[in-house]
Structure 1
């Protein structure tokens, strides 16, 4: 085999499949954690004496934790490596999920779910950076998209497990329900054992011999550093470069589209039974409707995952925002319609938003280079959770004070904002290798500013080197 063949062009092998399973497990836990609280709240609220304010605050607590965890996880993953941070999230999932079983107040539950949210925030940058830095080019988009499929699969599992445990667990059913996340966290820790460090990260730290050892282990003895395409312009990027030197525009795009895609979804997810009840679907209609809609979210993500390479990132994102916004507008307009119509519109939203959901991890991992990739994912995830947390906290108050129609119109407005931003700023990266996708040379104006910055820094760097 020629030494000039890029590792991005090798066949999808057993290692890639195992790594994908290891990484998507974190998003499964994420979907499980953030969804299960919505089902448990109805039972635990009377026992803990929670009013609407505290219900919304506890539902949003994990999202606030993700805000903090994203910043921490992104920075530490770029600084300390992918492999070390790969095990932090699972350990935290187990510890703080088990502790939920003994909570006695809303304040305690808020604190524990905040810590679980930090674990989720750490998962985003480390799991996605691992995947994108090992995967072949053709599988990069679909595998990163599969992360969101597993998020909704975890959410669906949460509804199913919660309904079962609440029925058989008696007055402590909600405690068993919240503590059940520990089981998944423990399994995640076990399956991640044996994962090597990312050779791209090792290269960015000057650890060339270790990087080559990993490449030979994963791809075979005929591969070496010569098979690893990497940015060779001589400049070492730092986390501050997310906000200037051409990457600020990309950071703004990712943060805004991610926020607009998750805010309505999280808000609806946390209070799915209450939203459906406000739309006149109660009892079994609400319970089974929540499960059905969740499964349709999975269907939407699977369909988007299959089209991320054929349709392209940009078209998929724009169409996703367009059709999902229309579904939300119709839900607001026809909120008094027949039950089957309401479920159909909710299902249409669930399927159509799949495109925006799966691209949340594709875009930031493709358009930022190795040195700041995890930081970009963590930063974007954190900023997006501001809107998600606010939406989750405010939705019970919105339903109570504004009504279901206005609530759906607000969700539609947020989605339409995502559409406009995507139309103006979304790039196309489907046919680019990872180095080219992350290079500013695809944006002539940004690249010119970037090269000017390099030129201005070189004399000072040369002086520092001589000193």
Structure 2
């Protein structure tokens, strides 16, 4: 019977669940790494004698590192394989975190945080490519979307752990706080031991015998290469040539939608108290509002994870951009409104943007072939972080120069750009095999049938 079953149609197994934990652990560490510096900075600055310039540079260092790490991780993952690069991020997390315990200057801390950011950037393409190339198609969307939730879980853990260490750890506790990532990095390294190479990547390099061994190891001796959907073998096809062959439009879609979805989120997430204050919320409203917005970001991602298959990728993305953009526009229009109304609109934005957030890792892994999958994720990661860094940097300036109303209108405009680009370029990939979703031929009979069924079953 297995001779007729595609590996994309098998039930979710213990291996798939373990691989999700292995790859999701990278997202958890990423959230922890990027958030822990915010907790420690109040102690780091006086201890190292940092001025405002170095405070800002150290805060932005990880984002700079992600820019380079995304490109580097994508290229290396496609060229050298998923399994080898799978251990680069955890290794850098361990070494850089331990080194931060003995840091003596702002320059050294900047360098170590930069390298930690490189590790974060590497994680995005390798962890998601590894995961998507093993998962059955029914579980691709939800499992990839779960990685976004784990990022927020890592950030929340960083806040709780960091505060506890600083409270109980004494004068030098900030050093332990910064070094604490090494523990999680070590656990991540250990749980990834024993992970086999992706058979899809092996086939793309012409290594069919090794791919056969992996398939039998993962799915059982009754399975073989015949159970893996046919894919092209482009051992000598470069990333640039594939983009020119038609994937350039898809790369533009990924880059633009990803960037438009993260700019307002990073700005709001980083400066929620400042933005709420500009909207005339103070005291308990501002404090509880910041917590509520953070929680609603997580809830929005959880809801989107449940809808990514039933609603479909395209419709989820369009609805996410539409309603979150309207919430931002209304925040600009009603900037002097009552506090409950302001918080309701902010909460609406945080809730609905979850769809675009979880699709940041789903879409690029589905609509590109094995040869450039990791590279595409790497480019999307790098370019979106440029937008995030610029948006985060400009928020204080924008609030001071043009005011909160215009700032919210600009954020709504950025979201509208994401909506328009998605309307014209976003494909529907739910219920499609990985090879079919990555194909440039969108008019296959089975594809049209899948789309028609999805539309019929999930019509509003």
Give me the TM-score of the superposition, normalised by structure 1.
0.88
Is the contact between residue 153 and residue 295 of structure 1 (CA under 8 Å) also seen in structure 2?
A: no
Which residue is 2:125 aligned to?
125
Cα distance, 1:113 vs. partner? 1.5
Which residue is 1:449 aligned to?
none
What SS does the corresponding residue of 2:430 show, helix, strand or coil? coil
Is the contact between residue 255 and residue 383 of structure 2 (CA under 8 Å) also seen in structure 1?
A: yes
What pairs with 1:10-409 in structure 2 (closer than 5 Å)? Answer: 10-50=10-50, 53-232=53-232, 237-280=237-280, 289-409=289-409
Pick closer, same or farther for the CA change 1:91–1:335 going to 2, 3 Å. farther
Cα distance, 1:345 vs. partner? 2.8
Is the contact between residue 156 and residue 295 of structure 1 (CA under 8 Å) also seen in structure 2?
A: no
Aligned equivalents of 1:163, 1:141: Cα separation in 2 = 34
Which residue is 1:453 aligned to?
none
Aligned equivalents of 1:101, 1:333: Cα separation in 2 = 48
- Range that drifts further, 236-245 or 329-338: 329-338
Is the contact between residue 204 and residue 235 of structure 2 (CA under 8 Å) also seen in structure 1?
A: no
Which residue is 1:7 aligned to?
7
Displacement over 6 Å in runs of 4+: none
Aligned equivalents of 1:337, 1:113: Cα separation in 2 = 41
Aligned equivalents of 1:43, 1:399: Cα separation in 2 = 27
Is the contact between residue 160 and residue 291 of structure 1 (CA under 8 Å) also seen in structure 2?
A: no
Cα distance, 1:259 vs. partner? 0.7
Pick closer, same or farther for the CA change 1:45–1:339 going to 2, 3 Å. farther
Is the contact between residue 38 and residue 271 of structure 1 (CA under 8 Å) also seen in structure 2?
A: no
Cα distance, 1:282 vs. partner? 5.7
- Range that drifts further, 127-136 or 378-387: 378-387
Cα distance, 1:402 vs. partner? 4.1
Which segments of 5 or more consecutive residues in structure 2 lack a partner in the other structure?
445-460
Cα distance, 1:29 vs. partner? 1.4
Aligned equivalents of 1:406, 1:71: Cα separation in 2 = 34
Give me the TM-score of the superposition, normalised by structure 2.
0.89
Pick closer, same or farther for the CA change 1:67–1:234 going to 2, 3 Å. closer
Pick closer, same or farther for the CA change 1:406–1:36 going to 2, 3 Å. farther
Is the contact between residue 206 and residue 235 of structure 2 (CA under 8 Å) also seen in structure 1?
A: no
Cα distance, 1:150 vs. partner? 1.0
Which residue is 1:456 aligned to?
none
Pick closer, same or farther for the CA change 1:45–1:322 going to 2, 3 Å. farther
Cα distance, 1:162 vs. partner? 3.2
| Aligned positions, number | 444
Is the contact between residue 146 and residue 358 of structure 1 (CA under 8 Å) also seen in structure 2?
A: yes
- Range that drifts further, 102-111 or 216-225: 102-111
Residues 264-296 of structure 1, C-alpha deviations (whole Å, 9 max, x = no match): 222333344444444455677655544432222
What SS does the corresponding residue of 2:4 show, helix, strand or coil? coil
Is the contact between residue 205 and residue 233 of structure 2 (CA under 8 Å) also seen in structure 1?
A: no
Is the contact between residue 125 and residue 374 of structure 1 (CA under 8 Å) also seen in structure 2?
A: yes
Is the contact between residue 304 and residue 354 of structure 2 (CA under 8 Å) also seen in structure 1?
A: yes
Residues 411-458 of structure 1, C-alpha deviations (whole Å, 9 max, x = no match): 2222221111111111111121111111111179xxxxxxxxxxxxxx
Aligned equivalents of 1:60, 1:14: Cα separation in 2 = 39
Aligned equivalents of 1:130, 1:431: Cα separation in 2 = 19
Which segments of 5 or more consecutive residues in structure 1 lack a partner in the other structure?
445-467
Aligned equivalents of 1:162, 1:288: Cα separation in 2 = 20
Is the contact between residue 56 and residue 395 of structure 1 (CA under 8 Å) also seen in structure 2?
A: no
Cα distance, 1:8 vs. partner? 0.2
Residues 14-67 of structure 1, C-alpha deviations (whole Å, 9 max, x = no match): 100000011111111112222333344455445555555544433222111111
Is the contact between residue 255 and residue 380 of structure 1 (CA under 8 Å) also seen in structure 2?
A: yes
Aligned equivalents of 1:432, 1:269: Cα separation in 2 = 34
What SS does the corresponding residue of 2:64 show, helix, strand or coil? helix
Aligned equivalents of 2:131, 2:46: Cα separation in 1 = 43
Pick closer, same or farther for the CA change 1:328–1:43 going to 2, 3 Å. farther
Is the contact between residue 93 and residue 185 of structure 1 (CA under 8 Å) also seen in structure 2?
A: yes
Aligned equivalents of 1:42, 1:279: Cα separation in 2 = 26
Which residue is 1:421 aligned to?
421
Which residue is 1:451 aligned to?
none
Is the contact between residue 204 and residue 233 of structure 2 (CA under 8 Å) also seen in structure 1?
A: no
Residues 310-331 of structure 1, C-alpha deviations (whole Å, 9 max, x = no match): 1111110011111112222333
Aligned equivalents of 1:201, 1:35: Cα separation in 2 = 33
- Range that drifts further, 272-281 or 184-193: 272-281
